[in-house]
Amino acid sequence: MRLVTNILMLSLFMGGCAQRDDALGSQHRIVFFGDSITELGVKPNGYVTLIRDSLERTGRSAAVTGAGISGNKIGDLLARVERDVLPYRPTVVVIYIGINDVWHYAFASRGLTGTPKEAFAAGLRSLITTLQASGAQTVLCTPTVIGELKNGANTYDAMLEEYSAVSRDVAAGTGTALCDLRREFTLYIHANNPDDTSKNILTYDGVHLNDAGNALVARTMLQTLDGMGIFFPQR
């Protein structure tokens, strides 16, 4: 039921937008840049696919590309931006990163490590500077969830809030649009997790998106892009 509601809301949102001036839509090349959540986002019902399909249904001709790789952290995005993003000559890049920068602290026994907050902030600023210098507008997403228990009960909730605060500060300081997925996920889980379960609300494993999670991400990102005047000129 939550999935049906989310898809209906997404369709209604884009349907209403279709009635407005569409002077900019055909000019845009949008790249979604991130980790496994974005890698999976290009699959059927993934958030990248939902966005692409919604734009096509409403007559938008923007080119949409997913550039996600499993396990990526901010340092990995910096290392591959020139290879995996800039060749598309993007007009808009949506950066969705941060989960592994926190979560990998749990896997020291596997040789993995998280990213210190200062390095996370510096990496975001450097990536955004590179993208903006190429002529792209940038959107920065806050990291979502590692577990879906309510009221801050997940192991990494406090760290995710700290890293989300970093993303908000970097967005404000670099003239980057903010897509506050952390906030939207927290609100949704609070309202839709009556049994206080650790997964199967917006994710299938506590991290990676299920259909409802993909629909929520797609809707939130489309709202952010609309607020920037990406598809419709600001009046």
CATH number assigned to the domain comprising residue 79: 3.40.50.1110
Alpha helices of the chain — where are they, by DSSP H? Answer: 2-17, 36-40, 47-57, 74-84, 99-103, 117-133, 157-174, 181-192, 211-227
Is 16 within a domain?
Answer: no
Is 198 within a domain?
Answer: yes
Q: State residue 26's pLDDT score.
A: 47
Name residues whose C-beta falls within 8 Å of residue 221's C-beta, 6 or more positions apart in sequence: 47, 51, 94, 139, 141, 179
Q: State residue 169's pLDDT score.
A: 98
Q: State residue 232's pLDDT score.
A: 60
Phi and psi (nearest 5°) for 93? -125, 125
Phi and psi (nearest 5°) for 65? -130, 135
Q: How far is CA 189 from the centre of its chain?
A: 17
pLDDT single digits (tens) 190-234: 999 999 999 999 999 999 999 999 999 999 999 999 999 877 654
Is 55 within a domain?
Answer: yes
Is 132 within a domain?
Answer: yes
CA 42 – CA 192 distance, rounded (Å): 26
Q: Could you tell me the two tokens for 26?
A: 């055909």
Is 10 within a domain?
Answer: no
Is 5 within a domain?
Answer: no
CB 206: neighbour CB atoms within 10 A? 19
Is 9 within a domain?
Answer: no
Q: CA-based Rg of the chain, rounded to a whole angstrom?
A: 17
Count of the separate structural domains present in the chain: 1
Question: Which stretches in the chain have pLDDT values below 50?
Answer: 1-26, 234-235
CA 19 – CA 190 distance, rounded (Å): 34
**In which domain, by residue range, is 165 found?**
25-227
- What separation in angstroms does the CA of 37 have from each of 18, 68, 91? 28, 7, 22
Is 2 within a domain?
Answer: no
- Whole-prediction pTM: 0.87
